[in-house]
Amino acid sequence: MQTERLQSLALQVEQDLEKINYATKEWSPPILHDGEKALDVAIIGGGQGGLATSFALRRIGLHNVQVFERAPEGGAGPWLTFARMITLRTPKHVTGPDLGIPSLTPRSWFEARYGEQAWRDLDKIDRKDWQAYLDWFRDTLRLPVVHDHELEGVEWEGGLLHLTFRRANGETHTVRARKLVLATGIEGCGEWYVPPFIRDALSSSLYAHTHQEIDFEALRGKRIGVLGGGASAFDNAATALEAGAGSVALCIRRQELPRINPYRWMENAGFLAHFPALPDLTRWRFMRRIFDLNQPPPQDTFWRCSRHDNFSFHPGTPWLSAREEESGIAVTTPQGEMKFDFVIIGTGFIIDFTKRPETAGFAESVALWRDKFTAPEGEESVVLGTYPYLGAHSQFLPRDAADPKAEMLTSIYNFTFAATPSMGLSGASISGMRFGVERLARSLANDLFVQDGEKHLESLLSYETEELVSLGKPDEQAP
C-alpha cells in the first residue's frame, strides 16, 4: 500500500509539472568543444542543494546540466554517514527542494508513506526519512546524477571550465562546462578542525572528529570526553551513551550554552530573499550577531544526553592540552585535569579553500571578505574575514582583477555554507533552500543568456515560423 501511494504521488508530481510547464523548454544554444557539447552547468554535490539546483534549472529551461557526486549511490550528504542526530533540527513545515510544488513537498511524501495522522503527530522528520525523501525526489524527477565522480581540479581554456574527475576505479576523465556550481555543503568549505594539541599529541586511534566514522560499540564501558557545544557534539555524546559508554563528559569554553537560535529569526521571507542586496556593513553586522549567538543544540538533543546519569556537562572548561598516559588520555583544563579513554572532537570546521582538492588550484585567487571590507573599530571578526566575498550571483570574485584566473572565477558559483556572509542561508541549509536555490538558478540563467545575447538576437532575426497561414475567409480553409 505504501509503495502504491508513493507511486501515485509521483504520478501527481508529473501531472502538476505538466500543468505549469510554460517556458520550460531548452533555450541555451549548444557550445561545442572538439566535437562534443559542453555542459551549460556542472553541479558538484548530489545532496539536497545539488538536487534542488538541478531541478530549478530545468524548470527555467536549462536542461544541459549534470550533477556529479563523489559518493556511491545512497551515500550523498551526511544523513546516512556521519550525521548522528535522530531527527532533523529544522521544523517539519520548512520546505525547500520542492520549489513550491505541493506534491513534491516533504509533507506530501511523508503522508504518502505514513499517512496524514502520522504527519499531524510528527514533531521533526527523522534524518533517515529525509534521505529517503531526497532519494524519491531525485528518482521521481529523473535528475541527471552520476555517482563515484570526485572533482580533482579545475582549469580554464577557450572560455570553458575543464573539470578533471576521478572515478571510483581510479580512472580520470575531463568534462567541459560553461558554469560550475559547488553544492558541497559544509565539508566543501575547507576542512574539519581538530585542535593541534589533540592532533599532534594523541594517536589517531584515541580521538575522532564528529564527522568521522566512529566504532561506538568499541567505546562500551569507556570514559569518553567530548569537546564542543554544538548540536553535533551533543549528538555524538548521546550516541556514545546509548552505545553503553561508561561515562561521557562534554566540555565547552563558554560559561553557558547558547539559548537563542538565530536560525528561527532568519526564517522569514524578507531576510531569506533579500539579504544579499544589503550593503556590506549591514551584512557584516548581521553575520557578526548571528555568529556570536551561535546555534544551540535543540532541546530534545540536550535531553537525549542529560537523561543519562553517567553524562556530565562542563561549561567554562576549555581544553588546553592533552597527553597520552598508560591509563588513557589526560586533558588539562582551567578546572584541573580530566582523564579519558577516547575523545570526540566537535569543534566544527575552518573556511579554507586551499584544503579542498577541487578548489586548491584557484583558492589563492579568490577574494575573501578581509580583502574587500574593513570593519569599523570594535566590529572586527577574524572568522568572518576568512569567508569568500561573493558577487551578486553567488560567483567567486578575484582578489586582483588582472589575475589570469579572474574570468574563470566568475564562472564558478559557491553554494556551500561558505556563501552565508555574502548570500545568507542558501544550499547548505534546508531553511534557506526555498529562496537560495531559485536565486542561484536564475543567476545562472541570467549569466548564460547575457553571455549568448548576440546568438539569441541572431535566432530572432532568422525566425520565420508563420502563425498567419491564410489570408482567405474562414470558410475557404481546407478541411
pLDDT digits (tens, 9 = 90+) for 147-158: 999 999 999 999
Enter the C-alpha cell of residue 36: 562534443
Give me the pLDDT at residue 58, please: 98
For 181-215, the pLDDT digits (tens) are 999 988 889 999 999 999 999 999 999 999 999 99
Q: Are residues 355 and 343 in the same domain?
A: no
Instruction: Give me the phi and psi of 372, to 5 degrees please.
Output: -110, -10
Q: Are residues 159 and 199 in the same domain?
A: no
Q: How far apart are CA 343 and CA 329, in angstroms?
A: 8
Residue type present at position 413: Y
Chain centroid to Cα 117, Å, comes to 31
Kind and range of the H or E run holding 19: helix 2-19
Q: Are residues 215 and 322 in the same domain?
A: yes
CATH number for position 107? 3.50.50.60
Give me the pLDDT at residue 89, please: 87
Any domain includes 470:
no
Any domain includes 459:
no
Any domain includes 198:
yes
Give me the pLDDT at residue 94, please: 87
Any domain includes 235:
yes
Task: Residue 20: count other Cβ atoms within 10 Å of its Cβ.
Answer: 11
Q: Which domain holds residue 318?
A: 194-259+296-347
Local confidence band at 431 (pLDDT 50, 70, 90 cut-offs): confident
| CA proximity to 452, closest of 178, 181, 182, 180 | 178
Give me the pLDDT at residue 429, please: 83
Report the share of the chain in percent with pLDDT over 90: 85
Give me the pLDDT at residue 478, please: 54
pLDDT, mean over the chain: 94
Q: Are residues 249 and 392 in the same domain?
A: no
Q: How far apart are CA 346 and CA 212, in angstroms?
A: 11
| End-of-domain residue from the set 313, 347, 381 | 347
Number of domains in the chain: 2
For 81-106, the pLDDT digits (tens) are 888 999 998 889 988 899 999 999 99
Any domain includes 8:
yes
Residue 321 has pLDDT above 90, yes or no: yes
Residue range 126-148: average pLDDT? 96
Give me the pLDDT at residue 476, please: 59
Q: Are residues 148 and 44 in the same domain?
A: yes
Q: Are residues 360 and 329 in the same domain?
A: no
Give me the pLDDT at residue 410, please: 96
Task: Dump the DSSP string for 328-378.
Answer: EEEEEETTEEEEESEEEE---EEE-GGGSTTTTTTGGGB-BHHHH--PPTT
Q: Are residues 330 and 356 in the same domain?
A: no
Instruction: Give me the phi and psi of 182, to 5 degrees please.
Output: -95, 105
**CB 358, CB 151: distance < 8 Å:** yes
Q: Are residues 116 and 104 in the same domain?
A: yes
Q: How far apart are CA 431 and CA 91, in angstroms?
A: 9
Q: Are residues 42 and 141 in the same domain?
A: yes
Q: Are residues 161 and 228 in the same domain?
A: no
Any domain includes 466:
no
Any domain includes 468:
no
